[in-house]
Amino acid sequence: MTTSPKTLLLIGGTSDIGRATALYYAKAGWHVFLAARREDEARRNADDIAARTGSEVTTHRLDILDTQSFEIFLTGLPQLPDTVVCVVGELGDQAFGQKDSAHATLLLRTNFEGPALLLGLLAERFLERGSGTIVGVSSVAGDRGRGSNYLYGSAKAGFSAFLSGLRNRLAPAGLRVITVKPGFVRTRMTAGLKLPPVLTAQAEEVGRAIFNAAEKGGGDIIYVRRIWRPVMMVIGNIPERLFKHLRL
Amino acid sequence: MTEFFGWGRYPRYPSDVLDPTSPSELPSLMASHTGLVARGNGRAYGDAAIGEKTTIVTRALDRIRAFDPATGRIRAEAGLLLSDLLEAMAPRGFFPPVVPGTKFVTIGGMIASDVHGKNHHRDGGFGDHVESLTLALPSGDVVNCSREENAELLSATIGGMGLTGTIIDATFRLRRIETGWMRQTTIAAANLEEALKALRETNNAAYSVAWIDCLARGRSMGRALIFAAEHATMQDIDALRPGAERFAPSKAGRLSIPFDLPSLTLNRLSVAAFNEIYFRSGSLKAGYPFLVHWNPYFFPLDGIGAWNRIYGPGGFLQYQCVIPAKHADIALNTILDRISHRGIASFLAVLKQMGPSHGDISFPMDGFTLALDMPINDTVLALLNELDKIVVEFGGRLYLAKDTRQSPATFEAGYPNLSRFRDLRRAIRASDRISSRLSLRLGI
């Protein structure tokens, strides 16, 4: 008897973290559904992962802002996946968003509304089936709002809270929800930024951390580099009357 | 503006950077810039991959687009690293048709330099195995080039140092390997004459290369160790290393040179001492075949990260020439004689047999190639000018991917199809739009 391969739905299939995560799953023998807005770019990653691993990788068009399309998108998948990983994220331009509501809206919707609604719909299907693992890539920026990126940070905070609530609700049914806080990651999104090497992960590390947490029984909330946990503990415990004067 | 330099860490030039994340960005980038050239992983030693004004960094174009395990045919984007390709494919029993001395090069760079491996005498250069490639021309047009379609453009692009356009992707075939091991045989040669003889006699081996002691003088001048090898079969494993894993993982090198060593570290005495030990220990192994993993066989120096720092902050250069077969003995004798008398300490000296090549300005030719690492100083530069004269006199030439210093006259003397290459560059307007520091220096 042969068991059919497990399936991963990767939302954000053109991002560097998405590519690395999908590759890690495919190396472990999983079939992958890569969802992204730019399907031709997702195709490049799908071809690459299939060639490197011999696993099957399909692409599926998805606009994370087009929340009306989510039901049709899910119905159009080859099957309901065993695991979904959402890596969608948009750092955007904080300074611009402070003055431009359209840009601020884009950041709030891309980082919170779209991912939360889509994972919510998947959760209902997983509950109905009685199995499924949900992984949301949030951010340490959501742990405490900072002046330099609070539009992105507050949306990620909302997403983290959503995942926390969903985890709480799904746990009795034996379904897992995992929150991933990668910290700094060397990707296109952070290209050109000066990042401290100790705190900065490679995309491959994030892929491995996600796989280990989701498929090997890791924690519910993971920081990719462990050093982030004490760092965020310290940042989280600075009294607000001091914190408001800091430039972090 | 970013400061760019090659693997030799000299020379250095500022250039604007373009960093496309998708091949779809290339047409408009090409059409809207001049004075540009594509760059792979920066392993050319000199000024080949530095644009006059703008350098297109291609490392993000690193996807394998198709692979057929039945035929070994693969289509890969130009920025894919050979090391990535090997990591994905070697454990599955597939190996590139040609690999150079480092795996930290891109597919695009391998084509642009028409790189040669230890099998050039039998299998030709990497360019000979390219079935087709997609090229973004200076106009922004994207064309497919193969032996049937745009064949002239293919011949110019193979070995063309990026001067015809930016390679987007290429299709070639991987060969099947039964195991990840090499069955190596070492031959000790007491002098240059014996070394050349041994290389000629091992030219039925799949791979062969000679390490040469360029400090040895007198009757020992040109003493060498010849490393011949085949991809090992399962039978070889049973005979030579029973129980070894068929596709053993390659251990990553742990040694790295973290900073520029003082320039004095490598001198005549230290290199002579190393050569003596290396030659003797190699001679002890001579005659008995043994198994070695493909990684250290093909890429011994990749095990030492940033080894280009051992020559110190002044940088270094590599001198690589090829001499036609019929003059090889006398020309190489003369060259080695000059080097050993000056006592120039070369950490790496390699001698190889080559076959013909087919790119308009590809480096290889039927003959022998000698490659030497040297620190950069006035004595070395004066010596190399003398060596250039010998190379030209005997109808040889220098490898552009390693060059930092040859004169336009030396270059023109060595590359008889240069005018055809220049005509094609004019025809596609590359002559006005694509220029590297190398093409400016040599007037290509």
Write the pLDDT tens digit of every residue in A210-243.
999 999 987 899 998 888 888 888 888 888 888 8
- Rounded mean pLDDT of A83-95? 96
Per-residue model confidence as pLDDT tens digits over A19-52: 999 999 999 999 999 999 999 999 999 999 999 9
- Rounded mean pLDDT of B78-107? 97
- A183, with CB counted inside 10 A (0-12, 13-18, 19+), is buried
User: Can you give the pLDDT at residue B253?
Assistant: 47
User: Can you give the pLDDT at residue B375?
Assistant: 83
Average pLDDT, chain A: 93
Q: Of A129, A153, A176, which Cα lies nearest the Cα of A248? A: A153
Q: Is A54 on the interface with B (CB under 8 A)?
A: yes
Distances (CA, A) of B208 to A182, B163, B227, B229, B366: 47, 31, 6, 6, 15
**Of B21, B60, B67, which is closest to A51 when you measure between CB atoms?**
B67
Q: Which domains does chain B have, with CATH numbers?
A: 181-407 (3.30.70.2520)
Rounded distance, CA B387 to CA A86, Å? 61
**Does B68 score more than 90 pLDDT?**
yes
User: Can you give the pLDDT at residue B33?
Assistant: 97
Rounded distance, CA A248 to CA B92, Å? 48
User: B94: helix, coil or strand?
Assistant: strand
Compute the C-alpha angle B431/B434/B436, nearest 5°.
110
Does residue B138 have a cis bond before it (omega within 30 degrees)?
Answer: no
Long-range contacts: A186-191, Cβ < 8 Å, 24+?
Answer: A187/A15, A187/A16, A187/A17, A188/A15, A188/A16, A188/B21, A188/B60, A189/A15, A189/A16, A189/A89, A189/A91, A190/A91, A191/B19
Specify the higher pLDDT residue, A192 or A114.
Answer: A114
Spell out which residues of chain A touch residue B65, defining contact as CB-CB under 8 Å: 44, 47-48, 51
User: Can you give the pLDDT at residue A4?
Assistant: 86
Question: Do B412 and B419 form a contact (C-beta atoms < 8 A)?
Answer: no
**Confidence at B254, pLDDT banded by 50, 70, 90:** very low
Minimal-distance CA residue of chain B relative to A46: B65
Average pLDDT, chain B: 92
Q: Is B63 on the interface with A (CB under 8 A)?
A: yes
**Confidence at A80, pLDDT banded by 50, 70, 90:** very high
User: Can you give the pLDDT at residue B121?
Assistant: 95
**Does B318 score more than 50 pLDDT?**
yes
Q: Is B19 on the interface with A (CB under 8 A)?
A: yes
- Rounded mean pLDDT of B66-92? 97
Q: Is B261 on the interface with A (CB under 8 A)?
A: no
User: Can you give the pLDDT at residue B191?
Assistant: 95
User: Can you give the pLDDT at residue B260?
Assistant: 59
- Rounded mean pLDDT of B387-399? 98
User: Can you give the pLDDT at residue B266?
Assistant: 62
Specify the higher pLDDT residue, A247 or B426.
Answer: B426
pTM of the entire predicted model: 0.92
Spell out which residues of chain A touch residue B66, defining contact as CB-CB under 8 Å: 47, 51
**Does A1 score more than 50 pLDDT?**
no
Spell out which residues of chain B touch residue A41, defining contact as CB-CB under 8 Å: 22
User: Can you give the pLDDT at residue A193?
Assistant: 78
Q: Is B73 on the interface with A (CB under 8 A)?
A: no
- Rounded mean pLDDT of B367-382? 92
> A24, A25, A150, A152: which is the annotated catalytic residue?
A152
User: Can you give the pLDDT at residue B272?
Assistant: 80
Strand B304-305 to strand B255-256: parallel, antiparallel, or no bridges (unpaired)?
A: parallel
- What the block records as the tokens of A194 is 């000066």
Q: What share of chain A is helix, strand, coil (3-state, %, to 5)?
A: 55, 15, 30
- Rounded mean pLDDT of B259-265? 57
Max avg pLDDT among B153-162, B206-215, B287-296:
B153-162
**Confidence at B352, pLDDT banded by 50, 70, 90:** very high
- B290, with CB counted inside 10 A (0-12, 13-18, 19+), is middle
Rounded distance, CA A32 to CA A46, Å? 8
**Domains of chain A, residue spans:** 7-243
- Rounded mean pLDDT of B359-379? 94
Tell if the CB–CB gap between B69 and A44 is shorter than 8 Å: no
Question: Do A206 and A20 form a contact (C-beta atoms < 8 A)?
Answer: yes
- What the block records as the tokens of A207 is 């892929």
- A246, with CB counted inside 10 A (0-12, 13-18, 19+), is exposed
CATH of domain A7-243: 3.40.50.720
**Burial state string for B320-339 with b = 16 or more CB within 10 A and e = fewer than 16:** bbbbbbebbeebbbbbbeeb
Strand A83-86 to strand A133-137: parallel, antiparallel, or no bridges (unpaired)?
A: parallel
Rounded distance, CA A52 to CA A35, Å? 19
CB atoms within 10 A of CB B63: 25
User: Can you give the pLDDT at residue B256?
Assistant: 57
Question: Do B362 and B125 form a contact (C-beta atoms < 8 A)?
Answer: yes
**Does B261 score more than 60 pLDDT?**
no
**Of B22, B24, B64, which is closest to A47 when you measure between CB atoms?**
B64
**Does A201 score more than 90 pLDDT?**
no
User: Can you give the pLDDT at residue B165?
Assistant: 98
* Torsion of the alpha carbons at B47, B52, B54 and B60, rounded to the nearest 10: -20
Ranking B73-87, B174-188, B213-227 by mean pLDDT, the lowest is B213-227
